[in-house]
Amino acid sequence: VAKVKAIISVSVDGFVAGRDISREEPLGKGGERLHDWVVVTKSWKELQGGEGGETGVDDDVSREMFEGIGAVVMGRGMFGGTWATGDEWNAWEGWWGDDPPYHMPVFVLTHHAREPLTLSDTTFTFVTDGIESAVAQAREAAAGKDVLVMGGGNTIAQATDAGLVDEFDLHLVPLLLGGGARLFDHLRHGQIELEPTRVIDSPKVTHLRYRVVK
Amino acid sequence: VAKVKAIISVSVDGFVAGRDISREEPLGKGGERLHDWVVVTKSWKELQGGEGGETGVDDDVSREMFEGIGAVVMGRGMFGGTWATGDEWNAWEGWWGDDPPYHMPVFVLTHHAREPLTLSDTTFTFVTDGIESAVAQAREAAAGKDVLVMGGGNTIAQATDAGLVDEFDLHLVPLLLGGGARLFDHLRHGQIELEPTRVIDSPKVTHLRYRVVK
């Protein structure tokens, strides 16, 4: 049965981005540090069309990220263009250039409607009627494969709150960031039991997998 | 060299106690759930003067908690009596009865001065001049052994902020509590790098040990 997975890198104090997110610093102050472990891996470099990179445990975990995934859900913060309105918003094509690393349908949760955007083999569809709709559309598009909710924290929290997430992959980065965007700051329905199903530890990051107990 | 260790159970969303902490519910709504893993262990039951209990990985970790520890620091919330003033405060003897499970000097960080309290072989000293003083007094009393900062979250965050913590043992409980007292909600000095030095996973809880990189 296809699952909805939420995958994100988070600091030990629970932040997925730093303070003062901006066009120049989409991950906020110090937020890039959260992705240090992944951007050096061989699989991540391949995903960006590059070569080289490190192999090992972190690379294995990075490589898994899109395995079995048929569609992606992300928030507008992750897609970017939050500073833009009107024509500028409609012209914003994400952070990833002409060939985004998704290669599958992506559903962007936003309050700002616009026409779908196709770049290479990735189509971004903008969903304005809420997280349930975004995940339902992603499920349909995934055609039996899993759906990946990638972030940011608010989008994952909304999906969690709505009972839509089946599994979390949290990459716990050994850092106290001290401030920024929290992963779980908007949960209205607490007391959600999880089951730890896998722990992989490496010097750079602890990979925690949880199944949501429903 | 003697260390200052912070040890606490925390939910995956970062809470060390639930909402609405009170005399009747010192750990707040749902907070007791965070300690489910430890209270069933053989070592914990022995610490309370009881018998029986489960053995295994969680018991091993629980047994380590006071190993090599010469003094404890805790906040007034953990000691209790936060609802009391005057004579009632002076008469409050903690949650643990006549024989508290510490058996060593305990320093209680509080704004409310009172004379030291000795129960069996545990003496509680009330420190009103801040976390640095509490940890310094604990170090002195520990006489070369380690100091254990036990909580709550605010006390651990203060010690962390002051650069006093050398090592964290975080018992990560597979639960999204959704609200309550956060472990790391008061950090003013973020961007503290940690080094993961040990990960022990069990079905009930993931035991994460971090060294603070100074």
Q: What is the pLDDT of residue B190?
A: 79
Percentage of chain B beyond pLDDT 90 is: 92
Whether the CB-CB separation of A102 and A118 falls below 8 Å is answered with no
Partners of residue A203 in chain B, C-beta under 8 Å:
195-196
Tokens linked to A139: 């499920």
Partners of residue B168 in chain A, C-beta under 8 Å:
12
B119 contacts: CB under 8 Å, gap ≥ 6: B93, B94, B96, B97, B98, B99, B100
Best CA proximity match to B199, nearest among B188, B191, B211, B207: B207
Put residue B44 in one of left, alpha, beta given phi > 0 → left and psi -120 to 50 → alpha. alpha
Tokens linked to A168: 């979390």
* pLDDT exceeds 80 at position A16: yes
* pLDDT exceeds 80 at position A186: no
| Euclidean distance between CA atoms A7 and A34, whole angstroms | 13
Whether the CB-CB separation of B12 and A210 falls below 8 Å is answered with yes
Partners of residue B12 in chain A, C-beta under 8 Å:
168, 170, 184, 194, 208, 210
Task: Report the helix count and the strand count for chain B, using DSSP H and E.
Answer: 7, 12
Q: Do A208 and B172 touch (CB under 8 A)?
A: yes
| Euclidean distance between CA atoms A208 and A144, whole angstroms | 25
| Euclidean distance between CA atoms A154 and A164, whole angstroms | 14
Whether the CB-CB separation of B152 and B80 falls below 8 Å is answered with no
In chain B, which residue's Cα lies nearest the Cα of A184?
B13
Percentage of chain A beyond pLDDT 70 is: 100
What does the angle CA A17 – CA A19 – CA A22 come to, to the nearest 5 degrees? Answer: 85
Block means of pLDDT (10 residues each) for chain B, length 214 residues?
Answer: 96 95 91 96 92 97 97 96 93 94 96 97 98 98 97 94 97 96 87 97 97 96
Residue with tokens 């990459």: A171
Best CA proximity match to B6, nearest among B100, B72, B67, B80: B72
Cα four-point dihedral sign B111, B114, B116, B122: negative
Q: Do A178 and B190 touch (CB under 8 A)?
A: yes
pLDDT digits (tens, 9 = 90+) for A68-116: 999 999 999 999 999 999 999 999 999 999 999 999 999 999 999 999 9
β partners of residue B214: none
Q: Do A194 and B176 touch (CB under 8 A)?
A: yes
Whether the CB-CB separation of B208 and B199 falls below 8 Å is answered with yes
ipTM score of complex:
0.95
Q: Do B175 and A187 touch (CB under 8 A)?
A: no
Q: What is the pLDDT of residue A188?
A: 86
Tokens linked to B205: 């809880």
Q: How many angstroms away from the CA of B192 is the closest CA of chain A?
A: 5
pLDDT digits (tens, 9 = 90+) for A134-144: 999 999 999 99
Average pLDDT for residues A181-189, to the nearest whole number? 88
Average pLDDT for residues A51-56, to the nearest whole number? 96
